[in-house]
Structure 1
Amino acid sequence: MIQHGVAQQMAEQTAQMTAHCAQLFTEGTDELTGIVAFVEREMKGQDLGMVASNRDEFIGETFRRLFPMVIQSEECRDALANMTNVHPQFPGISTMEKHDAEDHYRMDTGMAEVLYTVSSALIGTILMVTAGHSVPKQ
């Protein structure tokens, strides 16, 4: 059973993470472009004959496949570090390094925010590429 107030807490935390994410993306457009370009390159190389039989499955399968690749990519980690280094109040790459050392599912809110930011960049790119938009060539 869901405890009273959990939905409100979740709404507030998600709104805060969304605001932080938007600020990082707005102020770190070059870094975001690097993450987007990485995702787009990987999408262009993927096997479209995978198990997805419709658009929704395609989007879900693409996210499932690419999320670990983005998290492990030095290019994406560097972009995230550059975005967050100018904002000491935001968790950054040191949180990712701590996460890598852990072999269990538990995480703190800093790690949740880092993963939210990375996930937002990933799903945003998947949706825009699927909608026919492309990253300008650098």
Structure 2
Amino acid sequence: MALSNDRRIGKHAILLLLSDDSDEHLEWLKQLNWKSCTGKVGSMDAHKVVAAIETAAKKTGVINPDLYRESHALYHAIIEALNGITRGQVQIGSVLRTVGLSFAVLRGNPYENEHEGDWVAVSLYGTIGAPVKGSEHETIGLGINHI
């Protein structure tokens, strides 16, 4: 059940998100037979961030929208990543904060044994702060869950 060093799903989700050359990274992920999507979202509402990431993952085939367990796994990975962004308080607009985020969703098996099954990772990077231009700072979050 060893976790393979070159298949660390969280590391790859962050690298995909922050990569200046995402095409090269996507080629590597294709070789692993992993699925991915990226996007951007800005909002004062956490539920809009969740919805944007879920919609992108469903539309691109990263998760099957007809299987509850896949949507459920993605939801928990998103909430875990949002915990990192918001420092443990998944609140944005209710505490007068707004986010401008890029995201990456990655699905694959990080283990050497294929029977371990797929996991999903969500990485978020961007800014958070008061809804006043120039009153924000950088932030990053990562969430990983088994499917």
Question: Normalised by the size of structure 2, how large is the TM-score?
Answer: 0.32
Q: Name which one, 1 or 2, has greater alpha-carbon Rg.
A: 1
More strand by share: 2
